[in-house]
Amino acid sequence: MPASIQILPDIDNIELCTRISLVNQKVKHSKLLKKAKHFTPAKLAEKKDGSYKSKASKIGETPNDIKNYTKDKKRYCDKINTEINLLLSKSALEFGYLDIDDDLVIQVIDKILQESFLSFVLSRDYVLFRLKNNSLPLHMKYSIIAVGSKLFENHVFFNNHLYMCGTVYADKAFEILSNDLGHPCIDKIFSALILVGHYEAVSSLTRTLFLTDLSIKYAYLLKMNIMDASKYNVSKSNDDWISLEYKRRVWWFLYLKCVAFGITFGSTNKISLKDVAVNLPSKDYLYHNYVTDPSLKFNKDNLPHNIDDNEIEKSDRFYLLVKAYITLGISSDFLNSTRIKLSNLPDNYHLKKSHVKERILKFEDFLRSHNSYLELDQNTSLPKKSSSELFISNRYLICYVVSIMTRLATIFVNMLDIVPYSLDPKQLHRSKVAKSICIDKAIEIMTLIKWSMSSFKLVLDNITVFYAANICGVILTNPLKIPDHPKAQKIRESFKYVFVLFKKHETCLTFLYELESSVRVSDQIFQKSIDANKNFLKLFPELKISQITKQDTNLWFVKPTSSALAYLCCSVSINSPIYKYIFIQNWFKNEVIKTRSPEYSMPNPVHKFTCSERIAFLDLSSNLKSNLSEANDLYKNSNLTIKTPYPPVNYLDMTYSLPKNQILASASQSYSYPRNLKENSHNYYSSSNSQFSSLKNSFSNTSQFTIQHNLQYDPYKNLQ
């Protein structure tokens, strides 16, 4: 102690410490007095045992005052301790503290049950039972915390980069799974599917693909796809049914992820419903409360069985979600499996499309009947009255998501008709109808999403909602250029909100940057096509059939796939598949021109001549295919005359068949050629008609011959 500071000799050190303690207590008491409602000021001294006694009874203190003060102090200390523990827990979750206890796992599960779709698969009673028995694997704990840590509010360190929260737990769970690939089990499938959601949020494509494929392989190795194929598979107790229901829900959770995966990457579902014999999930209340609710006693006759739409309860929300994703998966598979064969659609294409549409309409009717107790608007699926009880219980949350999935399925089944792959009048009329349907459904989806943002927290682990918004943005890009559309104002508002939604949640999901970029790229390509097609539109008057308004004069740009991210890597190349139908100048290089109806073809030129059918149908333009049989089909089917400024081409040796004894020079038939053929014909042919007649006689007894590149004939010579 410094020499300048000395304790007075007449004051004991113990007494001095006591006085300092009293001063500190007065400072603390003054803060508590401001919060106390019924408290009489009194000077209190703290004993060594923690109790309080009066220093001066003349102030008027009473035992009740001391009691109230004690309670208030305890309440204040408990509040401080709770806030500190919560802060430490959040910090531990954000930084990825691996030495976690079961209490923290339970807190995360409680948060998941409130704000995540994982609540349909996780049962709190089932998890608590396994925690007590130490049967919950470590990778499952880490995967649950990896996703649940994102759901807490007011993050300290990763508030603006929420997607990073839980990365340490996810990487640790991934390490455990990848180091033990030879022992498949249901818990590993569940952990892998949870990690898929995390790695999708951080745009880790390789791990997303690996975990999805691993889950599918494990599921088929365990024969989960046929778990209910046998009628003798009967549960004998609640525990048996809970274990089987957990397995069943994990399977359908895998199916949901596969549907979302197919939509994301524009591929068909890796799980075929033809190979599935699994009952739909049921009895949500029993699954979540079979321990906490004592009224749920075991009764063998009352155990759930394979139920249908008429037997489900109001609480069976996972049943509705699975049914919606089954419908969405069928619709997306129809779209993604057809996009590669637009030029050769199967005979039953329209029959399949009608079947998918009928299935969607049937499911919509079922939803209206099942959700009648919610008093929803029949057109928008929004509640007529904003009931606080409705939103507290989150009963409407599943209806909101299911409504979006159903409308997205309707868009998928109609998107293909918007693509200008055919000039047939019937197909152009289908395109007109599909445009109107997709506009209406896109506006309805964005209205649902916008309304939900002001009512309850958006479910971030259901990534399909954001992909639905992305598809709506791509669809609405086209009618933005139609000023006379009756819903022009709603179209602009919905399109604008797509970017508002992505901007709001970019801190949670990094792939939203890619979705936003895909909408902007689609708009740029559409604008580019408008400039390139303006000189060609007048050549195709039949396109007016597909116009929904008078000012809808441009071709719509919609990719024939469920993924707006498809072909972005090659969009800068002129040979990109996305340019195949949007640019009219490319129609002459593919099958689009063959689909043109004869009534809309150009008038025949005035020049007519007589020659062989095979010679007449030679392809004289370099921008068409050089195969003779395809050239014949082109002219026969379309009856179209193509004017080309390209220089003539010297054809190489090519063989083709002619019927035996066919007359090569037929004077009774006339064939159409381009108007500029006369100027270019001398470069192709120069031999006389007599020379050609001698050639005819030399091949009169053969069925095969070869046209040499020096074989020349002037069809205009006789016209001069």
Residue 398: the pLDDT is 82
State both tokens at 590. Answer: 């593919």
Tens digit of each residue's pLDDT (9 = 90 or more) over 107-122? 888 888 777 778 888 8
In contact, 581 and 592? CB cutoff 8 Å:
yes
Tens digit of each residue's pLDDT (9 = 90 or more) over 632-662? 444 444 444 444 443 443 334 434 333 434 4
Helix (H) / strand (E) containing 657: strand 654-657
Between 346 and 33, whose confidence is greater? 346
Which distant-in-sequence residues (6+ apart) come within 8 Å of 245 by Cβ? 281, 283, 287, 304
pLDDT at 103 over 50: yes
Among the listed ranges 10-19, 419-428, 429-438, which one has the minimum average pLDDT value? 10-19
Residue 713: the pLDDT is 36
Phi, psi of 376 (to 5 degrees): -100, 155
Between 100 and 250, whose confidence is greater? 250
In contact, 16 and 8? CB cutoff 8 Å:
no
In contact, 390 and 396? CB cutoff 8 Å:
yes
DSSP state of 385: S
The type of residue at 38 is H
Phi, psi of 54 (to 5 degrees): -85, 135
Number of helical H runs and strand E runs in the chain: 22, 4
In contact, 284 and 122? CB cutoff 8 Å:
no
Distance CA 624, CA 589 (A): 6
In this prediction, residues 260-286 reach a mean pLDDT of 89
pLDDT at 290 over 90: no
In this prediction, residues 86-113 reach a mean pLDDT of 69
Between 459 and 83, whose confidence is greater? 459
State both tokens at 245. Answer: 């229901």
Q: Which of 151, 152, 196, 189 is nearest to 170 (CA)?
A: 196
Q: Which of 286, 257, 287, 258 is nearest to 272 (CA)?
A: 258
In this prediction, residues 512-525 reach a mean pLDDT of 90
Q: How confident is the model at residue 158 (pLDDT cuts 50, 70, 90)?
A: low
- Write the DSSP string, 526-549: HHHHHHHHTTTGGG-GGGGGG-SS
Distance CA 122, CA 323 (A): 19
Burial zone of 153 (CB within 10 Å; 0-12 exposed, 13-18 middle, 19+ buried) = exposed
Distance CA 349, CA 347 (A): 6
Distance CA 321, CA 140 (A): 24
Instruction: Give the three-class secondary structure for 506.
Output: coil
State both tokens at 144. Answer: 């649950």
Q: How confident is the model at residue 395 (pLDDT cuts 50, 70, 90)?
A: low
Q: How confident is the model at residue 418 (pLDDT cuts 50, 70, 90)?
A: very high
pLDDT at 2 over 50: no
Residue 411: the pLDDT is 96
Between 590 and 512, whose confidence is greater? 512
Look over the chain and give the mean of its residue pLDDT values, rounded to a whole number: 72
Taking only Cα atoms into account, the Rg of the chain, rounded to an integer number of angstroms, comes to 37
Classify strands 44-46 and 52-54 as parallel, antiparallel or unpaired: antiparallel
> Using CA of residue 265, residue 266, residue 272, residue 278, what is the dihedral sign?
positive
In contact, 308 and 147? CB cutoff 8 Å:
no
In contact, 457 and 441? CB cutoff 8 Å:
no
State both tokens at 278. Answer: 């699994």
Q: Which of 424, 433, 640, 431 is nearest to 542 (CA)?
A: 424
Between 233 and 107, whose confidence is greater? 107
Distance CA 471, CA 478 (A): 12
In this prediction, residues 196-209 reach a mean pLDDT of 87
Residue 92: the pLDDT is 61
In contact, 574 and 524? CB cutoff 8 Å:
no
Residue 300: the pLDDT is 57
> Which segments of 133-273 does DSSP mark as H helices, in order?
138-148, 167-178, 186-201, 205-221, 238-265
Residue 458: the pLDDT is 52
Residue 363: the pLDDT is 93
pLDDT at 299 over 80: no
Could you give the percent of the chain with pLDDT greater than 90?
A: 29
In this prediction, residues 289-318 reach a mean pLDDT of 70
State both tokens at 96. Answer: 């990825």
In this prediction, residues 173-202 reach a mean pLDDT of 92
Residue 111: the pLDDT is 81
Residue 251: the pLDDT is 96
Cα 187 versus chain centre, distance: 26
Among the listed ranges 33-37, 191-195, 249-253, 532-536, which one has the minimum average pLDDT value? 33-37
For 314, 359, 403, 466, 658, the CA distances from 500, given in Å and listed in that order, are 34, 33, 21, 12, 65
Burial zone of 231 (CB within 10 Å; 0-12 exposed, 13-18 middle, 19+ buried) = exposed
State both tokens at 626. Answer: 């050089």
Beta bridge partner(s), residue 654: 707
Residue 543: the pLDDT is 93
Cα 236 versus chain centre, distance: 40
DSSP state of 664: S
- Write the DSSP string, 149-181: GGGSSS-SSSSS-GGGTTHHHHHHHHHHHHT-T
In contact, 446 and 469? CB cutoff 8 Å:
yes
Between 488 and 231, whose confidence is greater? 488
pLDDT at 593 over 90: no
In this prediction, residues 245-251 reach a mean pLDDT of 94
Q: Which of 441, 519, 451, 439 is nearest to 487 (CA)?
A: 439
Distance CA 264, CA 274 (A): 23
In contact, 225 and 254? CB cutoff 8 Å:
no
In this prediction, residues 339-349 reach a mean pLDDT of 77
Residue 610: the pLDDT is 41
Sequence ranges of the domains in the chain:
13-93, 100-313, 316-365+380-600, 604-707
Distance CA 410, CA 420 (A): 19
- N- to C-terminal Cα separation, the chain: 128
Which distant-in-sequence residues (6+ apart) come within 8 Å of 326 by Cβ? 255, 273
pLDDT at 686 over 80: no
Q: How confident is the model at residue 507 (pLDDT cuts 50, 70, 90)?
A: confident
State both tokens at 557. Answer: 């740009």
Distance CA 496, CA 303 (A): 50
> Which residue is associated with the tokens 């890796």?
270
Q: Which of 235, 236, 406 is nearest to 329 (CA)?
A: 406
pLDDT at 696 over 70: no
pLDDT at 487 over 90: yes
State both tokens at 614. Answer: 């095979």
Burial zone of 415 (CB within 10 Å; 0-12 exposed, 13-18 middle, 19+ buried) = buried
In this prediction, residues 328-354 reach a mean pLDDT of 86
For 419, 551, 569, 633, 676, the CA distances from 478, given in Å and listed in that order, are 12, 12, 22, 34, 38
Between 27 and 465, whose confidence is greater? 465
